[in-house]
A and B are shown apart, each in its own frame.
Chain A
Amino acid sequence: MTQAEIKLCSLLLQEHFGEIVEKIGTHLIKTGSQPLRVIANDTGMSLDQVKKALCVLIQHNLVTYQLQKRGFVEYEAPCSRVLRILRYPRYIYTAKTLYSDMGELIVEELLLNGKMTMSAAVQKVANRLTETMEDGKTMDYGEVSNTFVRLADTHFIQRCPMAPETTETSDAPPPPAPTLAVNEKDMYVVPNLNLIGKGKRRRSFDDEDNGEHKAKRQKQDADSEEPPPDDGIYWQANIDRFHQHFRDQAIVSAVANRMDQTSSEIVRTMLRMSEITTSSNAPYTQPLSSNEIFRSLPAGYNIVKQILDQYLTLLADDPLEFVGKSGDSGGGMYVINLHKALATLATATLESIVQERFGSRCARIFRLLLRKKHLEQKQVEDFAMIPAKEAKDMLYKMLSENFVSLQEIPKTPDHAPSRTFYLYTVNTLSSARMLLHRCYKSVANLIERRQYETKENKRLLEKSQRVEAILASMQATGAEEVQLQEIEEMITAPERQQLENLKRNVNKIDASENQVDETIFVLQSYIESTVRKL
């Protein structure tokens, strides 16, 4: 973990959990795993505050704990997990595209709360949906829990590791920390719940019916006196599964850009078939025969078997090697080379960054090096067909920015420069690492800039919020148009302009954060997949 990563973690924690949690979390990220009292001591915060902050972080799966041999508990905050907060909007959006509003709200609630029981999540989502519906209509729990089950079936949400059953009869004191166990079998098994009910609308808290309301609430609560049947079974968003989905999408769209819509549809079908059977970090999908693929093609797609075979041969012959042929049985067995696909995506990202930063001629040199692996300076000048002086200039610029690396091969043991080969090359892995680091830095910079912008205009923002609140309350009581206009004019024209400016800037920065994260995802998946292979 680098300084840039720590900085970004700290900003993310601060924005989402406040300063106290941020302090504890950042401390843990910096120091690695530590026991409770050391954390309190080192951060100089009260024990109770530290405890609460840790509870929050554990609830959100950002901190894990482990029982040490000597009987104390150590807490650890994995940096990589904290950085995923940046990707939350994309997870929610994906859930929406796959499972519409209900899926969106379920995943959003799970991310907002870290982990939830199914009954609580379903109830909350039903209530929220009911609130957005027209008067008199309500959302049924059954529908929401159906979507929940579908999300679990496709592994987008999973059970949290379970706490052991507490045995109250045993004489021995319980261990200082429960050992959470993952039961592979029920990871995605939804408890058999009979959730009946409808979403409730939040009632307005008017003073007059406060008492009545309370009585009602109490009566309702009395009904649910018993613990929910799925007590203790918590669910969380399965981040790895989401990443797998992002990766598949990227591969499909890459194939579509490279060849055509039909071939991308074939690749999509292959990926969908191996979604559950292949683990999210495998380098290859399971081999699929062309007959199987033919059967699984979406119904509306009428291509004959012969055409499919031609497409598959074409895909397997493509120099990108996204699809590989692994055997001839069953009409030809095909796999998707996931590692190769990720590497290709990352390389394309590198190329495009070089092109945008240094111009197309530099990009030509860069691509040349990628293809020829090792080249001497003279060869670069010749192959790239760029005048020697300019080519040198570009090469040195990329060398100093670490996009290109230099390999010395001495002819004699004294490393004399005149008797040494200097070979230029592109080390994709280290360049990707360097760029990833830069991405983290730029997101941290973006967040800081956004906070600065907001802080500078704090007074104005507060004012506009106040005015809006007044307007809303007056509208509710049915004030006259003139009065409303009068209040609206409390914000002057230049102020309005300033507010608009601010809003535009903040939106732009937020959008940039989201889009940098897409690059982060590509680079990170490539690095992870390569490291796993080594």
Chain B
Amino acid sequence: MAGSGKGRGRAAFTFNIEAIGFAKGETLPEVAFKPPPLFPTTDFKPVPLKMGEEEDYMLALKQEFRASMKKMPYFMRKEDENQGIEKYSKKYLQMKKESMEWTPDWRRLPREMKPRKKTKKAGGKTKKAKVATPKSNVDVLKKIEELEKKGDEEKSDEEKEKEKDKEGEEEEEAAAAANEQEEYDEEEHEEENDYIASYFEDGDDFGAGSDDNMDEATY
């Protein structure tokens, strides 16, 4: 019985099964119905890592680089949305300010990169996006603070101005460049608006057009 079964099985192959390494009468391996295991056993253990001064130094460099990257202004943290109002304390704002100290060289970037709604100072521009939501909160807080210490107000304002000046200078963004930027902006305002309008119009037109076509085609 077994023999005949085997015989039938054998007949299914059009070639000599011995050629691929099965002896006569040997049972064939079962067909696999499941994927291979996620963590297959390894026959050979991996060799240990290279160790030495060079490797250690590179390891330190890697970890240090990663840590300092997190402190750079380029690192954009996701804003925690459900942060309570009291979280926007002075400390928090200060921290934010620190990470704001970066203005790209707008001359090297496409004009659309520059935020459109803008204030006069160089530092705040890039941050606009982030401040958008919490802004109302900050305003409220500011109001409260103002009411709390009317006397101190003037002084702190002065300080702020100083800070702003500093920011501008530190980022070797020259005054000339700033002027240039402002000039740019007037044009940019119109331009960008035009561009956007036409952009969406175009899109709509296309959309409508293609829809029409579709309709004609189908019905």
Interface residues of A (CB under 8 A from B): 15-21, 36-37, 46-49, 51-56, 58-60, 65, 67, 71-73, 88-90, 92-93, 96, 108, 111-114, 117, 119-120, 160, 163, 166, 168, 173-174, 176-178, 180, 214, 217-218, 221, 224-228, 231-232, 234, 356-359, 377, 388-389, 392-393, 396, 416-418, 507-508, 510-515
Q: Tell whether, in the assembled complex, residue A214 and residue B159 are in contact, meaning their CB atoms are under 8 Å apart.
A: yes
Partner of A507, one of B59, B77, B109, B170: B59
Assign chain B's interface to a size class: 35 or more
List which B158-210 residues lie within 8 A (CB) of chain A: 159, 162, 165-166, 169-170, 172, 174-177, 180, 183-184, 187, 191, 195, 199
Tell me whether B113 and A514 are in contact (CB under 8 A): no
Taking A53-B76, A418-B15 as contacts, is the C-beta distance between A15 and B112 under 8 angstroms? no
8 other A-B residue contacts (CB within 8 Å) besides A55-B126, A60-B74, A507-B59: A17-B76, A20-B76, A48-B115, A166-B180, A178-B108, A377-B19, A508-B49, A510-B62
Q: Which B residues are in CB contact (< 8 Å) with A359?
A: 43-44
Instruction: Mark out the residues of chain B between 128 and 179 whose CB falls within 8 Å of any chain A CB in the assembled complex.
Output: 128-130, 132, 159, 162, 165-166, 169-170, 172, 174-177
A-facing mask of B6-27, CB < 8 A → 1, else 0? 0000000011100111000000
- State whether A59 and B104 are in contact (beta carbons under 8 Å apart), knowing that A89-B61, A218-B162 are contacts in the complex: yes
Residues on the A chain within 8 Å of B69, using CB: 15-17, 112
> Which residues on B sit within 8 Å (CB–CB) of A71?
195
Instruction: Report the bound CA distance from A392 to B148 in whole Å.
Output: 86
Taking a contact as CB atoms under 8 Å apart, the answer to whether A52 and B126 are in contact is yes
Q: Is the CB of A392 within 8 A of B20?
A: yes
CA distance A65 to B111 in the complex (A): 12
B211, CB-defined interface residue at 8 Å:
no
Distance in angstroms between the alpha carbons of A114 and B176 in the assembled complex: 24
In the complex the two chains form, is B21's CB within 8 Å of A393's CB?
yes
Please provide the chain B residues from 52 to 77 with a CB less than 8 Å away from any CB of chain A in the complex: 54-55, 57-59, 61-63, 65-66, 68-69, 72, 74-77
**A-side contacts of B129, CB under 8 Å:** 46-49, 51-52
Most B CB within 10 A of own CB, among A214, A226, A511 = A511
Least Cβ distance of B117 to chain A in Å? 9
**B66 contacts which chain A residues (CB < 8 A)?**
15-16
| Complex contacts, A54 vs chain B, CB 8 Å | 113
Give the distance to chain B from A63, nearest Cβ to Cβ, in Å: 11
**B5 at interface by CB-CB < 8 Å:** no
Indicate whether A176 sits within 8 Å of B112 (C-beta atoms), given known contacts A18-B76, A166-B107, A358-B44: yes
